[in-house]
Structure 1
Amino acid sequence: MDILPILTTLRRHKTAAALIVLEIALSCAIICNAVFLISKRVERMDRPSGLAENELVVIRYAGIGQNDDAQAQAVRDLAAIRQLPGVKAAVLTNQVPFDNSSWNSSIFLEKDQRDQTTEATVYLGDEHFLDTFGVKLIQGRNFNTDELIDWEALQEPGSELEIPATIITRDLAEKLFPGENAVGKSFYSWGDEPMRVVGVVDTLIRPNDQGGSEGAYRAMIFPVRLSGGRTVIRTDPERRQEVKQAVVAEMEKLNPRRVLMSDKTFDEIIDRWYQADRSMVWLLVAVCVALLVVTALGIVGLASFWVQQRTKQIGVRRALGATRGQVLRYFQTENFLLATFGIAIGMIGAYGINQWLMSHYELARLPAIYLPVGAVALWLLGQLAVYAPARRAASVPPAVATRSV
């Protein structure tokens, strides 16, 4: 089909054509970035934690102190919990993933090193930590009982206790000792003495990582028995509520003075943590759908208006031998050209919006793949939207068209 007559017609309707081009350009620019933001949010929500998420219950208490030693109370609590029916493992730890806690520490490879090599989050727990969380050990071993340190003793004034061993994540091991086996190597973090790596776990996410940090999986576990914190229990998924109630009852019996702060399954913790992300995803989806609907209605409205205005022209073409298919293709080609102009401008706008988001919100660069995908989507939308008005134009009989002058 000759495109020159189409361009001539569009030049005679500059305002209407420009409005559609601008509408498509704006939709292209916004939708490309919105879809990118949606994908980043979904990617963030799909991040593996490295834990047995559907088997965990997390309980937190305050005010557990009585007249006896808090450390001894914590030992008795864990011993009692581990004896309850349905409990596979239990540990007292300082923080859990998808929490607002932030126990982080700098790491140095040399004792007198001026600048840190990296930093990582710190989990504290006894030899039951790995079994409770379901973390997969891929190198080395678990903690030995003679490596465990009591938190209370570690915090005593003048204490000379040092962390004798640590288990780190694979991501941290690759950062500290790239291409090497980290087991048996040492680094400095807490205290003046080196910490020896005795094991490496596959995956363990930071508690409050927002999804964009380079060290999201840089974590280390220290063999420290706590006197307070978060009690994590592992059980069968279908028994979580039953076990949670049994643990709460047992803890109440052991120390009625304690105050229950929270008791949640790990799924509930994750659900709450990602609530804002889900809301953002649905908001962006609604924005995309609204833009697509408005763009489609604009194309339909303009095409219907042009069909009405060009009734005589259509009739003349039909009288001169133009087929219905040729008339249909005319309007589809016209819409394709408008969409192409709009998409070209929209691609520039998409990168402009992305640059602004990068500078103000630390968003990643928009991958080029989103531009052709967005272009194809808008081209298809344009063709679908213009089809009905174009079909009406193609179905006008030549005799009726010529009498409608």
Structure 2
Amino acid sequence: MNLPPMIAALRHHKAAVTLIALQVALTCAIVCNAIFLIASHAQRLHVSSGIEDDALVWARSSGLRRGDGADARARADLDALRHLPGVTAVAQVNTLPLMGNDWSADLGVTAGDAQPAVNGAALFLGTPSFLGTLGVRLVEGRDFHADEYVDYSPFDDTPAPPTAIVTRQLAAHLWPGQPALGQRVYIGAGSSQGALVVGVVADVARSAISGGTSDHDVLLLPVRTVAGPYALRVDPTHRDEVLRTLPAALIAQDADRIVTDREAFVDTVHRYFHDDRAMVWLLVTVVGSLLLVTALGILGLSSYWVHQRRRHIGVRRALGATRRSILTYFLAENMLVVGLGLAIGTCVAMWLNHWLGERYEVPRLPLSWLGIGALLLWAIGLVAVFGPARRAAAQPPMWVIRQ
């Protein structure tokens, strides 16, 4: 295809060329970033909690307070919940994966080191049998022994538990290329008392995830009691029944309490990702609308463009141009105009991503996503112009010239 005549022809239709190029540029800038955000949020929706979601329910009570008698009340509550029909295990925990309230601490691998090896790792504290209650899968080592559960709070000056269990991801961050079993982990900057790592579990999600490399940096610690919800491992077929009978079992232990929350863990996970699902659908709607408007714009301007040059088309056909050459000419011309818009749009897309990153901590847009967006818009441009170009190429030469 000879470019100089094509460029000369385009210069006679500056308004149409400018409108199409600007529309493609604006769409490209928005669509590239939107598709990347859709992929990022969709990826979060597939994050596994790392525990058996459908076999877990949890409850929180306003009557559970630390202080005199708190430990005895907690043990009585656990015993009452353990005897509910359908409950196979129960424990008290400080939080659960994807619950939204993260407990975190800096971790070190050397006693007294003020420089942590991992910043802000999540802490999961639980009473006896809490690994089995959650359904966490050990991949190395062992579970906690009964005598390793101690009184501990990361907010007090109490000594750390003697043992700890880490996720595979946390182990890789603390001791890259080394076995985690038998290592000591120090909780808090400058700590001199380390917990011996006795087990490694498959990756458990934090209570709050960000889509980064620290989403499974979790340290599990054994405690006798902790302020937090009760977790109940249940037979999934009795889950609804347990949720109904659970409040009465707790109130029977303390009539002054209120069961403030109770929920199946699958519903907790579903609720946690509500905003991500809403964002995905919003962005899909925006992208779909923009692509539709762009396609209609190219279609409308191309139809007008072809109509304005019908005599030129007739002359070319009379001089021997085939239908295929006419069709190819208009497709190539459209590719040139859309390519101009994409060149501008990719630059704007990169600037827009940089602006969003500075203000909203949006991840940097990979160049591959620019290519995906450009190919998508190029394909839409070709499809939109194909109809008008095909109709123009199909008309007999003399009929076109007479119009």
Query: TM-score with structure 1 length normalisation?
Result: 0.92
Contact 1:124 1:225 in 2 (8 A): no
Q: Distance in 2 between matches of 1:310 and 1:7?
A: 15
Please say if 1:136 is aligned against 2:137. yes
Contact 2:128 2:224 in 1 (8 A): no
- Residues 181-232 of structure 1, C-alpha deviations (whole Å, 9 max, x = no match): 22222132267522111111121121122223x3221111111122541011
Amino acid at match of 1:128: S
Contact 2:100 2:272 in 1 (8 A): no
Q: Distance in 2 between matches of 1:126 and 1:63?
A: 18
- Residues 41-63 of structure 1, C-alpha deviations (whole Å, 9 max, x = no match): 11122112211112211111112
Match among 170, 187, 190 for residue 189 of structure 1: 187
Contact 1:90 1:234 in 2 (8 A): yes
Contact 1:64 1:259 in 2 (8 A): no
Contact 2:66 2:227 in 1 (8 A): no
Q: Distance in 2 between matches of 1:256 and 1:403?
A: 95
User: What SS does structure 2 have at the residue aligned with 1:48?
Assistant: coil
Residue in structure 1 matched with residue 204 of structure 2 by the alignment:
204
Amino acid at match of 1:394: A
- After superposition, the CA RMSD in angstroms is 2.3
Residue in structure 1 matched with residue 167 of structure 2 by the alignment:
169
Deviation, 1:253, is 2.3
Residue in structure 1 matched with residue 288 of structure 2 by the alignment:
289
Identical columns (%): 41
Contact 2:36 2:369 in 1 (8 A): yes
Please say if 1:70 is aligned against 2:70. yes
Residue in structure 2 matched with residue 123 of structure 1 by the alignment:
124
Structure 2 CA distance for partners of 1:80 and 1:395, relative to 1, 3 Å? same
Structure 2 CA distance for partners of 1:96 and 1:193, relative to 1, 3 Å? same
Residue in structure 1 matched with residue 351 of structure 2 by the alignment:
352
Deviation, 1:161, is 5.3
- Residues 105-152 of structure 1, C-alpha deviations (whole Å, 9 max, x = no match): 22223332222222322111123111111111111111111111246x
Q: Distance in 1 between matches of 2:77 and 2:223?
A: 16
- Residues 324-368 of structure 1, C-alpha deviations (whole Å, 9 max, x = no match): 222222211211111122122222222222222222222222122
Contact 2:27 2:291 in 1 (8 A): yes
Number of aligned residues: 400
Structure 2 CA distance for partners of 1:160 and 1:181, relative to 1, 3 Å? same
Q: Distance in 2 between matches of 1:370 and 1:106?
A: 35
Contact 2:128 2:223 in 1 (8 A): no
Q: Distance in 2 between matches of 1:217 and 1:160?
A: 26
Amino acid at match of 2:135: G
User: What SS does structure 2 have at the residue aligned with 1:88?
Assistant: strand
Residue in structure 1 matched with residue 22 of structure 2 by the alignment:
22
Please say if 1:233 is aligned against 2:241. no
Deviation, 1:37, is 0.7
User: What SS does structure 2 have at the residue aligned with 1:97?
Assistant: coil
Structure 2 CA distance for partners of 1:124 and 1:346, relative to 1, 3 Å? same
- Residues 153-201 of structure 1, C-alpha deviations (whole Å, 9 max, x = no match): x7999x8654211111122222222222222221322675221111111
Please say if 1:279 is aligned against 2:278. yes
Structure 2 CA distance for partners of 1:315 and 1:144, relative to 1, 3 Å? same
Deviation, 1:260, is 1.0
Residue in structure 1 matched with residue 316 of structure 2 by the alignment:
317
Structure 2 CA distance for partners of 1:67 and 1:125, relative to 1, 3 Å? closer
Structure 2 CA distance for partners of 1:135 and 1:156, relative to 1, 3 Å? closer
Deviation, 1:83, is 2.4
Q: Distance in 2 between matches of 1:155 and 1:28?
A: 49
Residue in structure 1 matched with residue 111 of structure 2 by the alignment:
111
Please say if 1:13 is aligned against 2:13. yes
Amino acid at match of 1:352: W
Structure 2 CA distance for partners of 1:131 and 1:352, relative to 1, 3 Å? same
Please say if 1:301 is aligned against 2:300. yes
The within-5 A match list for 1:12-51 is 12-51=12-51
Amino acid at match of 1:144: H
Q: Distance in 1 between matches of 2:202 and 2:63?
A: 35
Structure 2 CA distance for partners of 1:67 and 1:287, relative to 1, 3 Å? closer
Contact 1:127 1:142 in 2 (8 A): no
Amino acid at match of 1:332: L
User: What SS does structure 2 have at the residue aligned with 1:99?
Assistant: coil
Structure 2 CA distance for partners of 1:12 and 1:222, relative to 1, 3 Å? same
Contact 1:56 1:133 in 2 (8 A): yes
User: What SS does structure 2 have at the residue aligned with 1:328?
Assistant: helix
Structure 2 CA distance for partners of 1:89 and 1:294, relative to 1, 3 Å? same
Contact 1:71 1:150 in 2 (8 A): no
